[in-house]
Amino acid sequence: MRFLYSVLISQLLLFTAFGQEIRYADYNCVDNQEMLTERVNENKKALAAGMAFTREKIYVPVKFHLVADDGGLGRVDIEDMLDQLCDLNVEFEDTGFEFYIDNGFNFIDNTQAFEAPTLGAGVAEMLRARRSVGQEALNIFVTLNARQGDIENGTVLGFYAIENDWIVIRKNQIGNSNNTLAHEIGHYFSLKHPHSGWESDPWDAGRHGNPVLINRINGVQIELVDGSNCETAGDQLCDTPPDYNFGLAWDSRCPPFDVVVQDRNTDTIVPQQNNYMSYFIGCEPYIFSTDQSNLMMAEYNSGRKSSIRTGFTPNQANIVNTLELISPENNTTAEAYNGVLLEWTAVANASTYFIKVRSGQQEIIRFTDKTEIYITEMLPDKTYTWSVTPYNELNTCANKKTNILKTNDVTTATIDPDFIESVQLFPNPARTGEQIQLLIESNTTQSGSLAIYSTAGAMIYQREQQIKTGLNQISLDLNHIKSGLYMLSLSTSKGNIERKILINN
């Protein structure tokens, strides 16, 4: 994996000590260093007091908030999110932590949060999301930008907002084998950088000397090689060696650090290049040290993280790549473009199937626990790819399977399942904030999943719904939904109901 530190810089400055160019900015990827230091000290006291911290599996619920603009455009790919969770559980394998998806993904359509997640309107939207669906989870907001503060000539890739206790990360850091998110989760569990204090002021012989005789850098005690001040200097851990932020300028091919830099005792500094919390790039395989793992476990067991200690054990069964697409067969043409049944084989241990249908800019996404789904939004005379990815809340490493599907210009009436006698949806069109009534007359009792999707395929509303024999009146409170065209879907084991909803201002 290739680690990308939390700040990627566009202006390159000459770093004379190494004879290379440096990506540089005045930035630290935790927004309150004093508070982080307090947490480190509290967790170290808890460890010193002999508190027992199990190294058995610790399951951490994660609420991924997938943010797009007001129109639902620009959101990170779901497949990338599944790959990212798979990577996280490999990266944290030796720490005792395993991460699982907490009750599905949360979709946010808000341009402010998407583009400016540190400004008032964006933060307010994120606070609402955390309160409504993320109170018992590690909240991770995946946005277009992750700007925190005013950075000259810099682009923030991710940061941990310690007071809000959430992580913001740019979508281009998701699912591409970067370690940025693992780095930020380290901060979430109270880890500091080994180069703490040097983040915005990396070592330079002309400014800091060699040997480095100063005692502090930006208010942080400078760590010594002999370990005499390792409890209070740098990251305050003794099994991570001193690092004066050498990684920020080092070759991304990660050759051994061979620059002779001495501390004030004239001891030569040898940084741990493959530590997740450093800024060295390309130094796989990365590790968390034993002290770092212990500190993270202490933070997990602290009162600050009581909300994520739910006691829930997710599905631990692995998913084998046995999925096969059944119908429509590859490179065939659908009988009618506006009503296509997609079918695939069941996969052992999969609790959810992610379906994506795509042609050009049009993308339709669905989630189901069934092995088929009825799609009504395809356009005539187009070539689509449709794919299915099986996963469960903990295991997301299975590969998708993809077929090509062509449409013609033939239409068909949408066919409701046999147990449905009638369906009415009113008012339709509806006004923003108006309550919509769904009337379903059924000849049997059925349970299903009721969802509403945007035209871009994003699920913006979902709940479990019981359908009883006879007339069912279902009220839909859609106050939070903006004007536009949407698809309502009721998925059951006996078939799906699909209806379009138009919301006007």
Give the DSSP per-residue string, 202-264: ---HHHHTTTT--SEETTEEPP-TTSTTTTTSTTS-TTS----SGGGGS-TT--------B-T
- Is it true that domain 420-504 has CATH number 2.60.40.1930? yes
Q: Which CATH architecture has domain 325-406?
A: Sandwich (2.60)
Helix or strand holding residue 295 (H, E): helix 290-300
Q: Quickly state the pLDDT bin for 17 (edges 50, 70, 90).
A: very low
Distance in angstroms between the alpha carbons of the first and the last residue of the chain:
48
Residue type, 241: P
Q: Which of 8-17, 236-245, 406-415, 431-440 has the highest mean pLDDT?
A: 236-245
State how far the Cα of 289 lies from the Cα of 41, in Å rounded to an integer.
Answer: 18
Token pair 């998110």 is found at 181
pLDDT of residue 283: 95
Q: How far apart are CA 379 and CA 348, in angstroms?
A: 33
Say if CB 238 and CB 289 are below 8 A apart: no
Q: Which tens digit of pLDDT belongs to each residue from 243-299?
A: 999 999 899 999 999 999 999 999 999 999 999 999 999 999 999 999 999 999 999
Distance CA 411, CA 405 (A): 16
At the second CATH level, the architecture of 31-189+288-312 is 3-Layer(aba) Sandwich (3.40)
Region at 106 (left for phi over 0; alpha for psi -120 to 50; beta for the rest): beta
Using CA atoms, how far apart are residues 60 and 86, in angstroms rounded to an integer?
Answer: 14
Greatest mean pLDDT among 55-64, 264-273, 423-432, 452-461 lies in: 264-273
Question: What residue spans define the domains of the chain?
Answer: 1-27+192-287, 31-189+288-312, 325-406, 420-504
Tokens of 241: 């060696």
- Do domains 31-189+288-312 and 420-504 share one topology? The answer is no
Six token digits for residue 368: 């189901």
Q: What is the pLDDT of residues 85-121, one digit of tens each?
A: 999 999 999 999 999 999 999 999 999 999 999 999 9
State the pLDDT at residue 346: 96
Report the 3 state secondary structure along 359-414: ECCEEEEEEECCCEEEECCCCCCCEEEEEEEEECCCCCCCCCEEEEEECCCCCCCC
Distance of CA 314 to the CA centre of its chain: 18
Cα separation, 503 vs 307, whole angstroms: 37
Question: CB–CB of 348/390 below 8 Å?
Answer: no
Cis peptide bond prior to 211, omega within 30° of 0: yes
pLDDT at 182: 97
Which residues does 124 contact at the CB level (< 8 Å), separation at least 6?
none
Q: Which of 141-155, 225-239, 276-290 has the lowest mean pLDDT?
A: 141-155
* C-alpha Rg value of the chain to the nearest Å: 26
What does the longest C-alpha to C-alpha distance in the chain come to? 85
More confident residue, 4 or 228: 228
